[in-house]
Amino acid sequence: MEFGSTEDGRHDKFPVGMRVLAVDDNPTCLRKLEELLLRCKYHVTKTMESRKALEMLRENSNMFDLVISDVEMPDTDGFKLLEIGLEMDLPVIMLSAHSDYDSVMKGIIHGACDYLVKPVGLKELQNIWHHVVKKNIKSYAKLLPPSESDSVPSASRKRKDKVNDSGDEDDSDREEDDGEGSEQDGDESGTRKKPRVVWSQELHQKFVSAVQQLGLDKAVPKKILDLMSIEGLTRENVASHLQKYRLYLKKIDEGQQQNMTPDAFGTRDSSYFQMAQLDGLRDFTAARQIPSSGLLSRSHLTKLQPPMYSSINLQGMNSSSFIQQGHHQNSSNSANPFGTYHSTLSPRIQNVNLFQRTSSPLEPLQFPRSKSYIGDFKGLGDRAIGGSFLDTCMPFGSSSTSLPSASTNPLMLQANYTQPLHIASDGIQPCIEGTPSNSASPNISFQGLSRFPGHSWQGNLNTTRFPPSSLPLNLAFLPDQVTCAGNNLGDCTSLVSAENPGGEMQCDPQLLGGFMQNVNPLGGQKWEQQNCTMLNNPFGNIEYPLPADNMVFRDNNSTRSKGLDESLMNPIDNSQEYVGKATTMLDPEMKSGKPENDNQHDVFDDIMNEMMKQEENNGMVPVATRFGFDSFPPP
DNA sequence: CACGAAATAT
DNA sequence: CATATTTCGT
């Protein structure tokens, strides 16, 4: 890292001597690569054996500033190397002859800071040092105090076009430049635009927990912030969210008082609704009495949000490369995953990160399975659709191997305002494959998503809207979406339904959140350090392994779904019935094992299993119990 | 300076 | 259009 050399010269010289570890099992390629790297004036260490490369890294990661490795290699594949590199906090560039979507995506998802397609040209290599700088922005910033870059008070910044005309028109080059705003580098001293925090469920859960602990009245931004202890989150962020949250509470109240009928499936408030889900506790805290009751049956279905990922996302922040990538648009050689994505999937893509989904009506492809996706990317397919899934996962790190980078970030920030990654919203339907459902009804699609934790409360759709108050404690195990789905899904949902007041094993997301916080001492620690063990698995999320502070980034995007009418046409009638069904449905699946058809059942199974596990492992405290404690502050 | 409401940006 | 950020008055 240190480019000590930097000091001496001007920036231009900086990259000179940058220590690059080049790995490629193909002698020819390696040679070529070395030559090019040398031409860039880097200091090159090359090896054809990935194992050796690993050893070198392990012995002394300080020996290199950057790693550039071929993906396909005999013994240890490039991903292992990538993993290690990431652990050491080194930027790793993947190199491959494959420029297809899967390959590129895989590399990026795993945390590669760039993905170059062979044959690599000098141009691409000339810019790789940017990654090194990015990785060390902080320290680097110190070195150059007044650099011109930061000072951008106002006016000026002339360049809008930038370098285009200079030499040839190659296009490539991504990165940085953008004049205003982009640059994700994150924090840094300067005053850049604040990264946009996406209030993921997890984040919101934490928020709610904090509010709860403080007591509704006492909950002010600063205190909440402290309780949440999430790195990167600012008081303003909290204040803003609080504002919205209060608004939501207010709405709710009004609704109640006025006899708002629950059944109104109003689409409009969906967002609030969502919040409700999360905030189950609120009622208590607030001391509001809620009608409660009876209705729950229906309501219960609605929600479940597994608290999976814990984090937030800040855009533009440092670490995760993911997000940063946001701007690459197209470059000649370096395949831009997103770019690709883009092209591939066209139309409705959205970002899934947040799990908001759009309601696109139908999509062409739905891809059937979900798990595979997550499990390994191989599955990803060629089909565009795959993309969507992926996206979803991406932020969190989905692959089997651990992806530190991805998981690490606590907050997710939005990457670029501009073009982000989109995700096909559509794709999500996986779960239900069999059903011919008449329509590709939206419902179905949702389901697919459901497995992901991510929906933001805001985005989800709610099927029916109940007065939130009615469901204070329930927790749904399943994702809300599930609920939505009328038919098939419905069943599943029921499983979870929390109707029973008894509170058996419910897990309220919030509670969990809270739980985690309390229990997990790590909470505050840096996310960077935490590795993600289990995050990979989508379901894993449920486990809530980490301290939950990660953030997620959000891309841009657009639309959300609300529309769907929530569909729901078939609202669910009574929970019990459903439950019954659910059970039955599940059983078969369980027994069967899990064949390849992953449909919802599997998913559910998984979820359930995870939950159980979770309980066992964590000794989940009786939610109820916990609830009792904290939640009942009798103010 | 912090909070909260409103304006504004994305 | 919704959500998050920024601004502004208290």
A459 CB less than 7 Å from any atom of strand C:
yes
At residue A37, the pLDDT reads 92
Is A300 within 8 Å of A473 (Cβ atoms)?
no
A300 CB less than 7 Å from any atom of strand C:
no
Residues in A 58-87 whose C-beta is less than 7 A from nucleic strand B are none
Same domain, A137 and A24: yes
Same domain, A48 and A127: yes
Partners of A23 in the beta sheet?
A47, A69
Same domain, A55 and A138: yes
Within 10 A of A31 (CB to CB), how many other CB atoms are there? 14
Residue A83 lies in a domain: yes
Residue A55 lies in a domain: yes
Secondary structure string (H, E, C) spanning A87-136:
HCCCCEEEEECCCCHHHHHHHHHCCCCEEEECCCCHHHHHCCHHHHHHHC
Same domain, A122 and A235: no
Partners of A21 in the beta sheet?
A45, A67
Closest-approach nucleotide to residue A418, Cα vs C1': B10
Same domain, A43 and A117: yes
Same domain, A129 and A206: no
Judged against a pLDDT cut of 50, whether residue A138 lies above it is answered with yes
Mean pLDDT within A185-205 = 69
What range does the domain containing A42 cover? 19-142
Q: Which is nearest to A146 in space by CA: A109, A189, A193?
A: A189
At residue A513, the pLDDT reads 36
A197 CB less than 7 Å from any atom of strand C:
yes
Residues in A 170-189 whose C-beta is less than 7 A from nucleic strand B are 181
Same domain, A137 and A241: no
Mean pLDDT within A149-163 = 36
CATH number of the domain bearing residue A250: 1.10.10.60
Could you give the CA distance from residue A306 to residue A296 in angstroms, rounded to a whole number? Answer: 19
Q: Residue A16 corresponds to which tokens in the numbers above?
A: 């000179």
A11-39 pLDDT, tens per residue? Answer: 456 778 888 999 999 899 899 999 999 98
Q: Where are the alpha helices (DSSP H) in A232-320?
A: 235-257, 270-278, 282-286, 296-300
Judged against a pLDDT cut of 60, whether residue A224 lies above it is answered with yes
Task: Single out the residue in A234, A255, A276 at which a domain terminates.
Answer: A255
Residue nearest C1 (alpha carbon to C1'): A559
A584 CB less than 7 Å from any atom of strand B:
no
Residue A300 lies in a domain: no
CATH number of the domain bearing residue A53: 3.40.50.2300
Q: Is the peptide bond before A501 cis (omega within 30 degrees of 0)?
A: no
Spanning CA of A134 to C1' of B1, the rounded length in angstroms is: 34
Judged against a pLDDT cut of 80, whether residue A130 lies above it is answered with yes
Residue nearest B6 (alpha carbon to C1'): A243
Domain count for chain A: 2
A402-412 pLDDT, tens per residue? Answer: 333 333 445 55
Residue A556 lies in a domain: no
Residue A369 lies in a domain: no
Spanning CA of A397 to C1' of B10, the rounded length in angstroms is: 26
Partners of A19 in the beta sheet?
A43
Q: Which is nearest to A620 in space by CA: A515, A537, A518?
A: A515
Is A376 within 8 Å of A516 (Cβ atoms)?
no
Task: Single out the residue in A113, A142, A171 at which a domain terminates.
Answer: A142
A442 CB less than 7 Å from any atom of strand C:
no
Task: Single out the residue in A236, A255, A274 at which a domain terminates.
Answer: A255
Residues in A 257-296 whose C-beta is less than 7 A from nucleic strand C are 268, 271
Please report, rounded to a whole number, the percentage of residues in chain A having pLDDT higher than 70.
Answer: 29
Taking phi over 0 as left and psi of -120 to 50 as alpha, with beta for the rest, A57 belongs to alpha
Helices (H) and strands (E) in chain A, counts: 27, 9
A410 CB less than 7 Å from any atom of strand C:
no
Spanning CA of A243 to C1' of B5, the rounded length in angstroms is: 9
Residue A40 lies in a domain: yes
With tokens 């790789």, the residue in question is A128
At residue A489, the pLDDT reads 33
A194 CB less than 7 Å from any atom of strand B:
no
Residue A318 lies in a domain: no
Residue A485 lies in a domain: no
Is A152 within 8 Å of A182 (Cβ atoms)?
no
Judged against a pLDDT cut of 50, whether residue A210 lies above it is answered with yes
A196 CB less than 7 Å from any atom of strand C:
yes
Same domain, A123 and A44: yes
Mean pLDDT within A73-95 = 84
Spanning CA of A253 to C1' of B5, the rounded length in angstroms is: 19
At residue A240, the pLDDT reads 92
Spanning CA of A382 to C1' of C9, the rounded length in angstroms is: 56
When the pLDDT of each residue in chain A is averaged and rounded to a whole number, the result is 51
pTM: 0.34
